[in-house]
């Protein structure tokens, strides 16, 4: 049975009607290498997925939900159950984009077998088409293990937020020739192991260009380069929900301003008894 549901937005009820399978596929994403750049955004909820889906090739259920949704200090405390709940909501709210779900810290690093068990759990619970995991050469064996067993894997190199305790912060990576060479080697190892795509985050631009030229799969940049094969941002960042964001975020709107304005008007209307008005009330039957 399809895990895709339609949502009646007037009633907020999910209708368990299997949707026709019109989604983009992993082979289609692979085939986009070198073509029109791929569009990817994070989504964590059903309504956001519905709004983003028509415009995106891929939706990422990022473990950034730890900070964005739950106010956690980093992605480190995020659990498989949190990812599964949000991933299922995003799949229910989308019809077009490939949904990729992040493997949270601690759910895949110990061994390829641990990674398979966690990835299979996430894919069964959510209906997502692929998983993403952080790391380079050290994760190549795991990427090969999952890919050979029917689990498409997106890699993630450069600034890898799950390693914040080791990196010491979220600054750009690859500022020394040694570090730059390591990031390129990491990406190449993951690509050779079978990753269908690789996120390159927070690196000095020539590294992203070198990797994009070197690997056969599409690269998705975030704080990397417009020369990547696609781009990803956290949707709440690009919509202007936060005052402080990383340098690589462009704000395409000011949602926090719109929300503050609307809520201030609501508060005024409640306090002055202008709300609810006649249109929002149920008149008695004549």
- Write out the residues near ligand KIV by the rule CB under 6 A: 42, 60, 62-64, 102, 199, 201, 222, 232, 234
- CB closer to ligand KIV, 78 vs 204: 78
Q: Is the dihedral of CA 84, 99, 127, 88 positive or negative?
A: positive
Which residue number places its CB atom closest to ligand KIV?
62
The minimum distance between CB 200 and ligand KIV, in angstroms, equals 9
Q: Are the C-beta atoms of 203 and 224 separated by less than 8 Å?
A: yes
Listed in sequence order, the DSSP H helices in 193-240 are: 205-214, 235-238
The minimum distance between CB 127 and ligand KIV, in angstroms, equals 19
d(CA 142, CA 111): 7
Residue 282's alpha-carbon distances to 40, 267, 272, 286, in angstroms, are: 44, 22, 20, 12
d(CA 66, CA 60): 14
The minimum distance between CB 46 and ligand KIV, in angstroms, equals 18
d(CA 163, CA 77): 12
d(CA 115, CA 138): 13
- CB closer to ligand KIV, 5 vs 196: 196
Q: Which residues are known to be catalytic?
A: 201
- CB closer to ligand KIV, 62 vs 136: 62
| 118's tokens | 């966690």
- CB closer to ligand KIV, 5 vs 232: 232
Phi, psi of 156 (to 5 degrees): -155, 110
| 156's tokens | 């993630």
- CB closer to ligand KIV, 60 vs 146: 60
SS3 of residue 260 by DSSP: helix
The minimum distance between CB 40 and ligand KIV, in angstroms, equals 8
The minimum distance between CB 42 and ligand KIV, in angstroms, equals 5
Q: Give the largest CA-CA distance in the chain.
A: 81
């Amino acid at each position: 049975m399809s895990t895709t549901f339609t949502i009646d937005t007037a009633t907020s009820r999910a209708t368990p009607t299997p949707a026709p399978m019109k989604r983009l596929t992993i082979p289609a994403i692979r085939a986009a290498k070198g073509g029109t750049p791929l569009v990817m955004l994070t989504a964590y909820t059903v309504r956001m997925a519905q709004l983003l889906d028509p415009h995106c090739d891929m939706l990422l259920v990022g473990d950034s939900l730890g900070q964005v949704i739950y106010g956690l200090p980093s992605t480190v405390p995020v659990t498989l159950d949190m990812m599964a709940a949000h991933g299922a909501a995003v799949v229910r709210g989308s019809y077009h984009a490939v949904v990729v779900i992040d493997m949270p810290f601690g759910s895949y690093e110990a061994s390829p077998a641990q990674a398979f068990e966690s990835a299979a759990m996430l894919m069964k619970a959510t209906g997502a088409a692929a998983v993403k995991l952080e790391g380079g050469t050290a994760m190549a064996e795991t990427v090969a293990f999952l890919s050979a067993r029917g689990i498409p894997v997106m890699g993630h190199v450069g600034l890898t937020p799950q390693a914040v305790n080791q990196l010491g912060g979220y600054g750009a990576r690859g500022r020394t020739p040694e570090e730059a060479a390591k990031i390129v080697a990491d990406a190449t190892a993951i690509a050779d192991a079978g990753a269908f795509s690789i996120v390159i985050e927070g690196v000095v631009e020539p590294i992203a260009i070198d990797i994009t030229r070197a690997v056969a799969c599409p690269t998705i940049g975030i704080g990397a380069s417009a020369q990547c094969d696609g781009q990803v941002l956290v949707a709440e960042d690009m919509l202007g929900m936060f005052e402080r964001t990383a340098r690589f975020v462009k704000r395409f709107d000011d949602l926090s301003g719109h929300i503050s304005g609307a809520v201030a008007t609501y508060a005024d209307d409640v306090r002055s008894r202008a709300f609810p008005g006649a249109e929002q009330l149920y008149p008695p039957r004549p």
